Amino acid sequence: MLADLALRDVKKQRKARSQIYEASMLGRTHRAAHIEARLLDAIEADRIEPYYQPIFEIDTRRIVGLEVLARWRQSGGDFVPPDVFIPIAEERQLIDALSERLLKRACVDARQWPEDIFLSFNISPVHMETEGWERRLMDILGQTGFAPSRLQVEITETSLASDLPAAARALAFLQKEGVAVALDDFGTGYSNLAQLSNFSFARIKIDRSFVAPLLEDERQQKIVRLMVALARVLDVWATAEGIETEEQLVLLGKLGCRYGQGYLVSRAVPSDEVVALLAAAPLGAATIGGQNLPEQGDATSCPRPRLQ
Ligand code: G
Ligand code: G
Ligand code: MN
């Protein structure tokens, strides 16, 4: 009898839990449907804008490139986060239209910046599955007069998982045209080493999940040191993502990591702020690691980065 009651209780609890689950699912699909309905309009009206986050040389803090990050600001001024609308765009096959418009705008913006500043553009795994994406990308560079050697595409390991030969062909085509390829979120996926031997990446981006615990955790430091060494051996540039503190930046420099990105130097900013960022002296450069570093214009001690 008691057991019966207990059982009934468990059943009741389960039902309540699944009802909560269903309600939240419903909320989510509702929200997704609501966003989806406006997403197409927003893409067509170019309301999804490119913002730019600096990629800098750790030693000098000199900006070497900018990563394009999509931002959707609604009429009320609120932003819809990209990790909400990008998956919806991918699911509803809107990612091609979104990415292509975004790239076009970014290439136009970037033409105003110094020629040695590269543009880094995220390619969605779903976009990479669409036939001819690499040729359309080259068309956009042609139309906007943007030099392929100034573009880097960031791909994730997921892109390589579904159809390796097709992805390899597309990337080889882009590399032949002078576009650099970076492996994004490095260290978070699987079979990294196999992929590193299959492709000649110009850059690996060390995921920010490795950077966040760096100071507290010595094992993490060893892992990052290993990733940096791996990049060296393969003649690939390493960029650490998500640098938020001075201490992380200094330590990454000591671990041998040459490039970085993160809120410490700058968040993604709109195009009109990029010009000011590029013109400004590198933030606190004179005191990095307690040493005096050369002025920004000193070309001998600050070799120009190459992409490939
Ligand atoms: O920009 P961050 O602020 O929040 O972006 C969240 C996620 O959305 C990241 O994984 C980032 O790579 C992705 N993202 C941002 N902009 C773009 C874009 O233009 N294209 C693709 N494919 N992903 C993007
Ligand atoms: O997946 P991808 O590496 O492209 O994602 C870039 C994402 O990282 C964007 O959401 C961007 O806003 C975010 N980002 C950039 N710098 C920092 C940082 O210093 N800290 C954190 N937490 N996120 C960052
Ligand atoms: Mn990226």
CA-based end-to-end distance of the chain: 74
Cα–chain center distance at 182:
10
Q: Of the bound ligands, which one is closest to the alpha carbon of residue 105? A: 1
- What is the pTM for the complete model shown? 0.85
Mean pLDDT of 211-231: 94
What's the mean pLDDT in 74-87?
Answer: 92
Q: Residue 238 has what pLDDT?
A: 96
**CA 239, chain centre distance (Å):** 11
Q: What is the pLDDT of residues 249-265, one digit of tens each?
A: 999 999 999 999 999 99
Nearest atom, ligand 1, residue 123 CA: 22
| Average per-residue pLDDT for the chain | 85
**Residue 86: CB within 6 Å of ligand 1?**
yes
- Among residues 68, 64, 47, 45, the alpha carbon closest in space to that of 56 is found at 64
Which SS3 state, helix, strand or coil, does residue 217 take?
coil
Which ligand 2 atom sits closest to the C-alpha of 268?
12
Average pLDDT of the segment spanning 13-30 = 58
Distance 68 CA to ligand 3 centre (A): 8
The token pair that represents 252 in the structure block? 């990454």
pLDDT at 16 over 80: no
Cα(18) to centroid of ligand 1, in Å? 32
Tell me the ligand closest to 124's alpha carbon. 1
Per-residue pLDDT tens digits for 142-187: 999 999 999 999 999 888 888 888 999 999 999 999 999 999 988 8
Q: Which residue has the tokens 């004179």?
A: 286
